[in-house]
Amino acid sequence: KQEVTQIPAALSVPEGENLVLNCSFTDSAIYNLQWFRQDPGKGLTSLLLIQSSQREQTSGRLNASLDKSSGRSTLYIAASQPGDSATYLCAVWDSGAGSYQLTFGKGTKLSVIP
């Protein structure tokens, strides 16, 4: 069964700093990987989708990479801002045991200090 791990569980950085969030998964036979942002008590906002054939995707200050063979993805946030404070979730889409689903990590809670 696919397992997704996100490290660190929480991160606090000063405004303006560049930072990296890590995601690892146990089964490399994934279809794609998606990064989400979740604000407290709110829904999930999709940030980036990396297809299995891709190695990275960029959107504004965000850059996500994917290394399927090693089961790893990173989300790079440049020039962090207080508005970036949220929980960031990594999820992989697979069909393990015949059940099509997104398997989520437990997230990294980011706090950007002004």
Partner 1 sequence: EAQVTQNPRYLITVTGKKLTVTCSQNMNHEYMSWYRQDPGLGLRQIYYSMNVEVTDKGDVPEGYKVSRKEKRNFPLILESPSPNQTSLYFCASSLSVSYLNTEAFFGQGTRLTVV
Residues that bind partner 1 (CB under 8 A): 31-32, 34, 36, 41-46, 49, 51-53, 89, 91, 93, 95, 99-102, 104-107
C-alpha to C-alpha distance for 5 and 54, rounded to whole angstroms: 21
**CA 29 vs CA 21, 64, 69: distances in Å:** 22, 18, 9
| Cβ pair 59, 47 in contact under 8 A | yes
C-alpha to C-alpha distance for 19 and 60, rounded to whole angstroms: 14
Provide φ and ψ at 90, rounded to 5°. Answer: -105, 140
| For the chain, counts of helices (H) and of strands (E) | 0, 11
Measured from the CB of residue 4, what is the shortest distance to partner 1 in angstroms?
Answer: 9
Indicate the residue among 46 and 111 with the shorter CB distance to partner 1.
Answer: 46
Indicate the residue among 13 and 102 with the shorter CB distance to partner 1.
Answer: 102
Measured from the CB of residue 93, what is the shortest distance to partner 1 in angstroms?
Answer: 6
Measured from the CB of residue 34, what is the shortest distance to partner 1 in angstroms?
Answer: 6
Indicate the residue among 75 and 80 with the shorter CB distance to partner 1.
Answer: 75
Indicate the residue among 48 and 80 with the shorter CB distance to partner 1.
Answer: 48
